[in-house]
């Protein structure tokens, strides 16, 4: 009987699913790490304030057609330059257009520019920095000299040059701001890859005969995500600020498209008689940039094991 029972126990154990495989352990560790980072982020009051600010802007931007009280492009010269009232919550502009509705739709444009231009910088800058740091040698020297040339231009100036070449418009602003952010990501990723490629797991992967691209994108870059995520959060704020600057200079969205920089630029001629045309978009730009910066500060602390 004992032999039968022990055989039954062995059969039962063999029938149980294997849950302690390396893949399962790795997935569990990643999940626990994510929960720890998220928990630490929520304990940071500054980061929570940033999340609330960006959350409000995000909701207002996505559902702008439902919150808008008027058409953002409808003109009414009889109501021009009115102050805030029950009918026009933020007043009207020089053409009698409702400023509240224009700010809602303008927030959607600014958010899109910030996110898409940052993605462009990521898609171009991260591979360049990874290849430069991993291979080194002459290739690294050539790439870094090109990056030095781009860094020699201030970011907003480089974006102005690109827009001048491509032409004005929201899409070209996204491309210009994205290209201007490429040097930041290339330098950041290069430094992270230089530190990561000396680790034992990279040596083991190379000894196992894995291809270089697999080592870079499957083993090195996943361990460099923390600084990339933090930089991306700050870069979205910078991109929104640059886009507003280009719109203020008349190189961004063209009339009658509502964009915060363009609204601010149009309102400067009436700053004494209708200061709400500059005050309101200026405060909106300030709050959105502040919100992303606060989230970036919180993520930097949450992703750093030394501060947890």
CATH number, domain of 166, equals 1.10.3720.10
- What pLDDT shows up at residue 33? 65
Q: What is the DSSP letter of 88?
A: S
Task: Please indicate, yes or no, if residue 100 is contained in any of the structural domains.
Answer: yes
Q: Average pLDDT for consecutive 10-residue bins of the chain (308 residues)?
A: 45 43 50 72 87 93 90 86 87 89 91 93 93 88 90 86 87 91 92 84 80 83 86 91 89 84 88 88 93 89 66
| Number of structural domains the chain divides into | 1
- What pLDDT shows up at residue 206? 78
Task: Please indicate, yes or no, if residue 20 is contained in any of the structural domains.
Answer: no
100: containing domain? 49-307
- What pLDDT shows up at residue 222? 83
Rg (C-alpha) for the chain, rounded Å, is 26
Phi, psi at 98, each rounded to 5°:
-70, 120
Task: Please indicate, yes or no, if residue 32 is contained in any of the structural domains.
Answer: no
- What pLDDT shows up at residue 271? 86
Task: Please indicate, yes or no, if residue 21 is contained in any of the structural domains.
Answer: no
Tokens of 130: 């990874």
- What pLDDT shows up at residue 205? 80
Task: Please indicate, yes or no, if residue 287 is contained in any of the structural domains.
Answer: yes
Task: Please indicate, yes or no, if residue 123 is contained in any of the structural domains.
Answer: yes
pTM value is 0.83
- Rounded Cα distance between 48 and 41, Å, is 7
CB proximity list for 293: less than 8 A, separation 6 or greater: 50, 233, 234, 237
- What pLDDT shows up at residue 52? 94
Task: Please indicate, yes or no, if residue 144 is contained in any of the structural domains.
Answer: yes
Q: Which residue has the tokens 């979205």?
A: 236
Task: Please indicate, yes or no, if residue 30 is contained in any of the structural domains.
Answer: no
């Amino acid at each position: 009987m004992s032999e039968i029972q022990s055989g039954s126990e062995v059969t039962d154990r063999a029938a149980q699913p294997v849950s302690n495989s390396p893949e399962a352990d790795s997935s569990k560790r990643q999940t626990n790490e994510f929960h720890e980072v998220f928990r630490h982020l929520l304990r940071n009051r500054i980061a929570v304030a940033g999340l609330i600010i960006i959350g409000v802007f995000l909701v207002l931007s996505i559902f702008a057609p439902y919150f808008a009280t008027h058409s953002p492009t409808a003109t009414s010269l009889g109501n021009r330059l009115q102050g805030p009232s029950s009918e026009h919550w933020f007043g009207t502009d020089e053409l009698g257009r409702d400023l509240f509705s224009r700010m809602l739709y303008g927030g959607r444009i600014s958010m899109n520019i910030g996110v898409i231009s940052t993605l462009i910088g990521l898609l171009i800058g991260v591979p360049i920095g990874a290849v430069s740091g991993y291979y080194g040698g002459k290739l690294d020297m050539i790439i870094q000299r090109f990056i030095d040339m781009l860094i020699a231009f201030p970011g907003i100036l480089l974006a102005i040059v690109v827009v001048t070449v491509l032409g004005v418009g929201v899409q070209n602003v996204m491309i210009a701001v994205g290209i201007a952010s490429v040097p930041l990501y290339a330098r950041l990723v290069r430094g992270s890859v230089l530190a990561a490629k000396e680790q034992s797991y990279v040596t083991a992967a190379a000894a196992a005969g894995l291809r270089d691209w697999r080592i870079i994108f499957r083993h090195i870059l996943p361990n460099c995500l923390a600084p990339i995520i933090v930089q991306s959060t700050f870069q979205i704020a910078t991109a929104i600020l640059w886009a507003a600057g280009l719109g203020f200079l008349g190189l961004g969205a063209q009339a009658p498209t509502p964009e915060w920089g363009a609204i601010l630029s149009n309102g400067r001629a009436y700053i004494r008689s209708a200061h709400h045309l500059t005050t309101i978009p200026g405060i909106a730009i300030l709050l959105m940039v502040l919100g992303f910066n606060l989230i970036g500060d919180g993520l930097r602390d949450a992703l750093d094991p030394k501060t947890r």
